[in-house]
Structure 1
Amino acid sequence: MSSGSETPKAGLRVVRESAPFRGRQGHLYRPAISAEAVGSAALHMQLLEIPPGERAHAHKHESHETAIYVLSGVSGCFWGEHLEHHAIAGAGEFVYIAADVPHLPYNRSRTEPVTAVIARTDPNEQESVVLLPDLEHGVDWSKADE
């Protein structure tokens, strides 16, 4: 197989990562597989980068599950109905986020980016994102140091 985008053919596409964009939730994404890029009907996959010290906006993905594989760096994530739970994931670890679960991921490092591969059951790159700004006020940032 060659690298790069191939002429659309039924059944298989090879796609180079495309130019980054900042999603509604605040992350930098490099879309690869999606309804927009290849006509996917049920999933999308993309690269995520969280620059040093950055965090997303509190959000959820309405009716869609998310799977993440951390390639490099260490990310923290507040999650739950009131962002009351906290988890940490680093390089080589997988993360699962159930549909409709509020979450707020962030980069724990001030010097190293977090890079991850994300797959979601929503074929559209941003359609299921629901911002939850009211939840951000109650985040216990002291847990980020745990």
Structure 2
Amino acid sequence: MTVLEATRSNRNAIAAAQKASVVRSGAGYRAEQGSDYQPGVSTETVGSQSLWLGMITLPAGQRTRAHVHECHETALYMLSGDEMELWSGDQLQHRDTVRPGDYIFIPANMLHVAVNRSAQSAVFIGSRNEATAQESVVLRPEMDRKVP
């Protein structure tokens, strides 16, 4: 079964059920940009039309690749870890330090890189207004060297 067929099947099952859905923790995946995603609410899990909600982990000593999400806004809450750096802007010129308890908002089409220099994984609850696992990520490899 293709992802599209599974998505259609899921939507039909949700529509037929006419009730709320509970999603149990399941298998995650490594996103193109380098962070680990564990979707809870998505097109694939519950037939969501416009919302993705899940956990995002950036392992200790890792960073994401420079990228933008062309079609969606992202909201994050840092659940655990040490501190993490968030670089953003058209030249990645802005550096923010993020700690547990902090919220992050990343507008659509905003270039950014997350860097976890600590010895602990950084764990986030994340939400975006694009429901599919195959989000609108565009890698910008020419910008990766901008972040030390």
Q: What's the TM-score bracket when you normalise by the shorter of the two chains?
A: 0.7 to 0.9
Structure 1 gap segments, 5+ residues each: 1-6, 142-146
Aligned-residue sequence identity (percent) comes to 37
Name the counterpart of 2:98: 89
- On the 8 A contact 1:60/1:129 being kept in 2, the answer is yes
- On the 8 A contact 1:24/1:126 being kept in 2, the answer is no
State which of 44, 64, 73 in structure 2 corresponds to 1:36: 44
**Residue 101 of structure 1, CA deviation:** 0.1
Alignment of 1:68-107 (within 5 A): 68-73=76-81, 74-107=83-116
The 2-side partners of 1:53 and 1:70 are apart by: 17
Alignment of 1:2-17 (within 5 A): 8=14, 9-17=17-25
Name the counterpart of 1:122: 130
Name the counterpart of 1:3: none
The 2-side partners of 1:123 and 1:19 are apart by: 17
SS of 1:86 mapped into structure 2: strand
The 2-side partners of 1:129 and 1:12 are apart by: 29
* Residue identity opposite 1:83 in structure 2: L
SS of 1:108 mapped into structure 2: coil
**TM-score (ref. length: structure 1):** 0.86
**Residue 26 of structure 1, CA deviation:** 0.6
- Number of aligned residues: 133
The 1-side partners of 2:87 and 2:63 are apart by: 11
* Residue identity opposite 2:20 in structure 1: L
SS of 1:37 mapped into structure 2: helix
- The structure whose residues are more often helix, as a share, is 2
Structure 1 segments, 4+ long, off by >6 Å, are none
